[in-house]
Amino acid sequence: MITKLLLATAMSVAFAGASSACDFKNDVPVKSLTAGFEAWKAVTDFMAKCGNFTAELDQEFRTKQPAAFAADPALYQIGGVANGTLVPLMNEGTIRPLDGLVEKYGQQLTPNQLIKVNGEIMAVAMMINTQHLMYREDILSDLGIDVPKTYDEVLAAAEKIKQAGVVDYPLGATYQTGWNLAQGFVNMYLGMGGEFFTPGNEPAIENEQGVAALEMMKKLTEYMDPEYLVSDSTYVQQQFQQGKIAMANLWASRAGAMDNPDESQVVGKVKMAGAPKAAVRAASTLWWDGIVIAKNASDEEAEAAFRVAMNGMTPEMVEANNDAAVWLIEGYEPGPLAQGVVETAQAGALAYPASSQMGLMHTALGNGVSDYLTGAKDAATTLRDIATAYTTSAREAGLIK
Amino acid sequence: MKYKTFAAFVGPSIFLMLLFIAAPLISVFFQSFYITQPVFETVEVETCTPGFPTQTCVTEQKTQPIIGEDGKVVTTVKYVGLESYRNVLEPDRAWAALSAFDFRALLTIDFWKALRFTLTFTLVTLPLVIGAGLLIAVVVNNASRLIRGPIIFVSLLPFIITPVIGALSIRWLFIGDGIMTAFLEWAFSQNISMFAQGWTIELLMMFYRVWHVAPFAFVVFYAGLQTVNQDTLESAIIDGASRWERLRYVIIPHLMPLIVFISLIHLMDSYRVFEEIVGFSSQAHRISLQWLTYDFLTPDDSGNRSISRASASAMLTMIGIVVLLVPLLRKTWRDHKGGRV
């Protein structure tokens, strides 16, 4: 952590000299707290060109951000958020509406980037992320398999690949217990056409769609590395890079790594396609990443922070990092790596339904789904226990009377 | 020692213990009986998020906390008695499972699953740590002076490593096709997945804990061995006692207070097993009581955390440790009193 901080500081200091790449000279100290993946690195590097800027890139940002923004003055002026992590900041009212600042300094932003809640701009999005199908084109064409469009086709293809025995495991998946596994269920359940809650915030997952989602996940795991319950995004990415798997539903932000010659043995062989459909729609959720500005900061700081942030979202930044993400920023040329995201969105994938209740449900799912996959419980019991766990925490949180 | 001098020496430490141990403990104790909740309202909210190629806007009913005039979320505090304990222990389900002798069902309840693992882990590693520590100590004690230094240094290494780092390095040796797994696969020529089922992870975790803590037991025992009465040992040799008999009847009785001490420390430490769970990411198969508390405390994406259940679970962990320590403490107390009389 400290090394990361030092690195980030060193980077911002290094870039402070090159202020020519920023259209103003920032003299108010500005700090940001964001996730740590490639795209955030690119954006914060460009923010740093305005000077007086410290970036903190931390994959565990979600646990610190609410408290850091609730402090007065806030510990960071700029926050990096996504669908889910925007919720606690909105709930606690620790971020400010950006309409004025967007009007003054945000001319280059497209309407698609402005996250509006009740008409007020609360965040500015920079990229879209989603889990979509990545596949080894060489293997699929060798075996004469069409790119699967539905999960039944995925199973059929996996069976063929298994028979052919060309890779260790036909499928990979981010099924690590906890957040990742829950996300896998959310994708599949929404794909099956399920809904999570009744209007009174009671859980509504004990139904056919829930059972169908669990059963499909279990069928998929039969084609995976048996250690799937510890496999996170990085693990699946490496399985691809080392040629151990042929297909996986993986985050778009990992696509670039497949063609990185330093790490990957399969450069140019991994292609992108939309997330396969479950019963009703593409079994995936759309996520956006973007920035918010703290409320507990002076107007002067907020203005400086916003201008710095805008400098991270310029066409020049996109030009330098075109393939690091599926950018929403002007100047982005969708390359072949963006194909999966576009197809997933077109196949009707929903935005991740972030809310306070969903946060609790996600946790309950993350702790509960593995019991079905390991065979400790049957599907109905698993769903009932997850619903009970959700109800307990929702009652404790005050969401259910 | 004069009472005043005694008080001056002990005072600061008692003050710090009250401030940093007793006070938080009392606060956690009270928190486990109360629930703090935000006051929620349900309102219609229109949210616009990026889509491809244009934005999508949805209007839906959202439950959100009310923000007061001071800019903070309005909360209420409610006395709930033992409800948080009930939520952690789930006594109804546990009792139903117990009365049907269905232990599989009992072990699907988080708390009981965690308790089962924690107890097994603690009680299995205890004799292994003491045994391994004693073994290294005796071996080192009998080694020639020349190599004693290097041996002590090497056997202390595992203890110096930060627990999480140590756990992670063992994990990397075994996960997927890690070096050790690859070696085992080669040696037994079959596919091995150490992280695919619970019992192998549990074995790895115990192995790691013994590897990590045995050096501590070793150092303590080694120090103890230096004070063994040489006359007694020599007379035992003259009486024709074998090496094993000398260990059994002279050395171990001499080291008994140290063995009790190590047991106390080890029980307290390993009942709070946590690093192994995180390091081996074993949550799908094995969880511990301390991890359960941590999980209640960790905010999710939407910023929710269950302080009350975390407090209840922390209190239960403390009660568990006290119950485990009682037999040993009683023994020490008896010996202590006996020594005085």
User: Could you please report the per-residue DSSP string of A129-198?
Assistant: EEEEEEEEHHHHHHTTPPPP-BHHHHHHHHHHHHHHT-SSEEEEE---TTHHHHHHHHHHHHHTT---B-
B52 and A355 within 8 Å at the Cβ level: the answer is: no
B193 and A227 within 8 Å at the Cβ level: the answer is: yes
What percent of chain A is modeled with pLDDT above 90?
66
Are A223 and A323 found together in one domain?
no
Q: Which residues on chain B are in Cβ contact (under 8 Å) with A374? A: 197-198, 284-285
pLDDT confidence band for A42 (50 / 70 / 90): very high
Q: What does the pLDDT read at residue B74?
A: 87
- CATH classification at residue A68: 3.40.190.10
**pLDDT above 90: residue A250:** yes
Q: What does the pLDDT read at residue A74?
A: 94
A340 touches chain B (CB under 8 A): no
Alpha carbon distance B179, A266 (integer Å)? 22
- Chain A: closest CA distance from residue B273 (Å): 19
From chain B residues 197-256, the ones with a CB under 8 A of any chain A CB are: 197-198
Domain B103-340 sits in CATH 1.10.3720.10: yes
A91 touches chain B (CB under 8 A): yes
B62 touches chain A (CB under 8 A): yes
Q: What does the pLDDT read at residue A312?
A: 92
A376 and B300 within 8 Å at the Cβ level: the answer is: no
B67 and A93 within 8 Å at the Cβ level: the answer is: yes
The pTM assigned to this predicted structure is 0.82
Q: Which residues on chain A are in Cβ contact (under 8 Å) with B50? A: 112-113, 115, 125, 128, 288, 328
Alpha carbon distance A354, B295 (integer Å)? 20
* Domains in chain A, number: 2
Contact (Cβ atoms closer than 8 angstroms) between residue A365 and residue A168: no
Give the residue from B300, B305, B307 with the most A CB atoms within 10 Å of its CB, the best one to mutate. Answer: B300
A359 and B303 within 8 Å at the Cβ level: the answer is: yes
Are A214 and A241 found together in one domain?
yes
The radius of gyration computed from the CA coordinates of chain A, to the nearest angstrom, equals 22
Cis peptide bond N-terminal to B158, omega within 30: no
What rounded mean pLDDT belongs to chain A?
A: 90
- Chain A: closest CA distance from residue B15 (Å): 30
If we measure between CA atoms, which residue out of B274, B319, B322 comes closest to residue B295?
A: B274
Q: Which residues on chain B are in Cβ contact (under 8 Å) with A83? A: 49
Which CA distances in Å does A49 have to A20, A41, A53, A125, A310?
8, 13, 8, 20, 11
B304 and A397 within 8 Å at the Cβ level: the answer is: yes
Per-residue pLDDT averaged across A24-38, rounded? Answer: 90
**pLDDT above 70: residue A20:** no
Are A268 and A157 found together in one domain?
yes
Contact (Cβ atoms closer than 8 angstroms) between residue A3 and residue A11: no
Amino acid found at B218: F
A298 touches chain B (CB under 8 A): no
Q: Which residues on chain B are in Cβ contact (under 8 Å) with A359? A: 300-304
**pLDDT above 80: residue A8:** no
Alpha carbon distance B254, B65 (integer Å)? 64
Which CA distances in Å does A206 have to A190, A396, B28, B86, B108?
14, 21, 35, 24, 18
Q: What does the pLDDT read at residue A41?
A: 92
Domain with A195 in it: 130-285+346-397
Low-confidence ranges of chain B (pLDDT < 70): 53, 338-341
pLDDT confidence band for A15 (50 / 70 / 90): very low
Are A150 and A124 found together in one domain?
no
Per-residue pLDDT averaged across A235-241, rounded? Answer: 93
Q: What does the pLDDT read at residue A59?
A: 81
A367 and B283 within 8 Å at the Cβ level: the answer is: yes
B53 and A112 within 8 Å at the Cβ level: the answer is: yes
Contact (Cβ atoms closer than 8 angstroms) between residue B148 and residue B218: no
Q: Which residues on chain B are in Cβ contact (under 8 Å) with A93? A: 67, 71, 73
- Chain B: closest CA distance from residue A324 (Å): 18
Are A121 and A165 found together in one domain?
no
Closest partner residue to B301 (CB to CB) among A115, A359, A399 is A359
Q: What does the pLDDT read at residue A57?
A: 93
Are A144 and A263 found together in one domain?
yes
Q: What does the pLDDT read at residue B174?
A: 87
Q: What does the pLDDT read at residue A131?
A: 95
Alpha carbon distance A164, A397 (integer Å)? 52
B59 touches chain A (CB under 8 A): no
pLDDT confidence band for A17 (50 / 70 / 90): very low
Contacts of B25 (CB under 8 A, 6+ apart): B318
Nearest residue of chain A to residue B175 (CA atoms): A227
Q: What does the pLDDT read at residue A159?
A: 95
A117 and B45 within 8 Å at the Cβ level: the answer is: yes
- Chain A: closest CA distance from residue B99 (Å): 19
A357 touches chain B (CB under 8 A): yes
Q: Which residues on chain A are in Cβ contact (under 8 Å) with B40? A: 398-399
Q: Is A5 exposed, middle or buried (0-12, 13-18, 19+ CB in 10 A)?
A: middle
Q: Which residues on chain A are in Cβ contact (under 8 Å) with B308? A: 396
Per-residue pLDDT averaged across A55-77, rounded? Answer: 91
Q: What does the pLDDT read at residue A4?
A: 53
DSSP state of B137: H
Alpha carbon distance A186, A183 (integer Å)? 5
Per-residue pLDDT averaged across A345-361, rounded? Answer: 88
**pLDDT above 60: residue A81:** yes
What percent of chain A is modeled with pLDDT above 70?
95
Contact (Cβ atoms closer than 8 angstroms) between residue B38 and residue B66: yes
Ordered by start, the domain boundaries in chain B are: 3-83, 103-340
Amino acid found at A31: K
Q: b/e map of A374-401 (b: 16 or more CB within 10 Å)?
A: bebbebeebbbbbbebbbbbbbbbbbbe
CA B120 to chain CA centroid, nearest Å:
12
- Chain A: closest CA distance from residue B196 (Å): 4
Contact (Cβ atoms closer than 8 angstroms) between residue A282 and residue A249: no
A63 and B299 within 8 Å at the Cβ level: the answer is: yes
